Amino acid sequence: MVDGLLQVEGGRPLNGEITVRGAKNLVPKAMVAALLGTTPSVLHNVPLIRDVDVVSGLLSLHGVSVDYDQAEGVLRLDPSKVESAHMADIDAHAGSSRIPILFCGPLLHRLGEAFIPDLGGCRIGDRPIDFHLDILRGFGAIVDKQPQGIRLTAPDGLHGTVIDLPYPSVGATEQTLLTAVRAEGLTELRGAAVEPEIMDLVDVLQKMGAVISVDTDRTIHVEGVDELVGYNHRALPDRIETASWASAALATHGDVFVHGAHQSDMTTFLNIFRKVGGAFDVREDGIRFYHPGGDLKSIVVETNVHPGFMTDWQQPLVVALTQAEGLSIVHETVYENRFGFTGALRKMGATIQVYRECLGGTACRFGQRNFYHSAVISGPTPLHGADIVVPDLRGGFSHLIAALAAEGTSRVEGVNLIDRGYEHFMSKLAALDANVTRLA
């Protein structure tokens, strides 16, 4: 079954104004945090994306009342009647989302048990959950692997612990925060992720009554409290979606104003965008991204955890780099298999070679193993339309950008995947004067 088919007439600049709302990688976590409160929570700037639907469904399954005003972007959550849910229902509801794993801490606090189905998520690497399970065991949970998934219990409740993260994992940091805030005593998390979305989750939990501090050496300290209440919070804007549209403006010689974008979350992206030859104006209510004319310049980029160049920013940028003069190098150090999308770009005329070596930067976890995690892009190469299939969320958006930049017609299959993280992307393309038709 074709999971959404788009026909794109490329070769036209994207020009116009769009709005980006709350971050896909914060909003679902803040929704889960509401489970920890004894009173209702309100979340603002919530986008209409599939991940929000999935988490709303999972929360409702557990007895939380969820009310979403799409137009206003306001989500109201009342967790006063939390109850267990059947494993099969959780599995059916979770879909391809990885979010169920973050329900563990809150459900163990509320009900003494939790269930994780086998997780989905984009196929950009193995996506293990070993850090998560070790962390939950550290808090005193009993982890029981069963055929349909993993069942966790906490007969003696949850107590604070000391965690040394082998890698600054975003999910593992969120797992720790969502469990430690109501655990008995103190928790210390060393080597934590400190992405803007993590700091926004800290703000949410602090509003609920949590006691959390984040040291400059990435150590997070949490003092467990007896009760948390509901929050009222406005989610930070989606810096990944913003960077995706910025890269689209560059690749199509366009001019796009992203209403709602924050400069402070995007410092590293803006530096790279400028060095490649893009231009941007930061305004009160957003950021204007545009191609100022002249040649784009090749560059060496290494992805890293915050405040480095984010792994989710590299796929859209690679499309713009196919139009830059000379050889660009991208060294992906966060996920082992995140250049799958370059196959379609080669089919459209790009010259991209992927390598197992750590190119352009320092040695990373993937250097001495069989992972093609470095790419060299030679440009500029004119792109021509082709039939392409979307591989994952961010790679899929990059395929869309490539089709918009390419001369001629492209048919992009599997675009429904893009709904997971890009709110109203069809109407945004229309607002930017793109010539696209939904065929299925």
Nearest distance from residue 126's CB to ligand EPZ, in Å?
6
Nearer to ligand EPZ, 18 or 243 (CB): 243
Q: Least distance (Å) from ligand EPZ to the CB of residue 12?
A: 27
Beta-bridged to residue 288, according to DSSP, are 257, 281
Bond into 307 cis (ω within 30) = yes
Closer residue to ligand EPZ, CB minimum distance, 46 or 383:
46
Q: Whose Cβ is closer to ligand EPZ: residue 178's or residue 324's?
A: 178
The binding site for phosphoenolpyruvate comprises: 24-25
Q: Which residues bind ligand EPZ (CB under 6 A)?
A: 24-25, 98, 122, 125-132, 167, 169-172, 193, 195, 240, 311-312, 334-335, 393-394, 421
Spatial distance between the Cα atoms of 367 and 358, rounded to a whole number of angstroms: 5
Task: Give the residue ranges of the annotated binding site.
Answer: 24-25, 98, 312, 334
The 3-state secondary structure of the chain, one letter per residue: CCCCEEEEEECCCCEEEEECCECCCCHHHHHHHHHHECCCEEEECCCCCHHHHHHHHHHHHCCCEEEEECCCCEEEEECCCCCCCCHHHHHHHHCCCCHHHHHHHHHHHHHCEEEEECCCCCCCCCCCCHHHHHHHHHCCCEEEEECCEEEEECCCCCECCEEECCCCCHHHHHHHHHHHCCCECEEEEECCCCCHHHHHHHHHHHHHCCEEEECCCCCEEEECCCCECCCEEECCECHHHHHHHHHHHHHCCCEEEEECCCCHHHHHHHHHHHHHCCEEEEECCEEEEECCCCCEECCEEEECCCCCECHHHHHHHHHHHCCEEEEEEEECCCCCCCCCCHHHHHHCCCEEEEECCCCCCCCCCCCCCCCCCEEEEEECCCCECCEEECCCHHHHHHHHHHHHHCEEEEEEECHHHHHHCCCCHHHHHHHCCCEEEECC
Cα pseudo-dihedral 290, 293, 295, 299, rounded to 10: -20
In the complex with ligand EPZ, the residue whose CB is nearer, 58 or 296, is 58
Least distance in Å: CB of 197 to ligand EPZ? Answer: 7
Q: 252: closest CA among 295, 297, 290?
A: 290
Judge whether 122 counts as a catalytic residue. Answer: yes
Q: Which is nearer to ligand EPZ, 319 or 383 (CB)?
A: 319
Report the residue number, 200 or 413, with the smaller CB distance to ligand EPZ: 200
**Which one, of 278, 273, 283, lies nearest residue 255 by Cα?**
278
Q: Which residue, 25 or 268, has its beta carbon nearer to ligand EPZ? A: 25
Closest residue to ligand EPZ in the complex (CB): 171
* Residues of the binding site for UDP-N-acetyl-alpha-D-glucosamine: 98, 312, 334
- Angle in degrees, CA 288, 415, 437, rounded to 5: 75
Q: Are 319 and 245 in contact (CB under 8 A)?
A: no
Q: Which of 104, 122, 358, 364 is catalytic?
A: 122
Nearer to ligand EPZ, 375 or 406 (CB): 375
CB of 218 to ligand EPZ, least distance (A): 13
Tell the smallest beta-carbon distance from residue 60 to ligand EPZ (Å). Answer: 20
Structure tokens at 80: 């006063």
Catalytic positions, written as ranges: 122
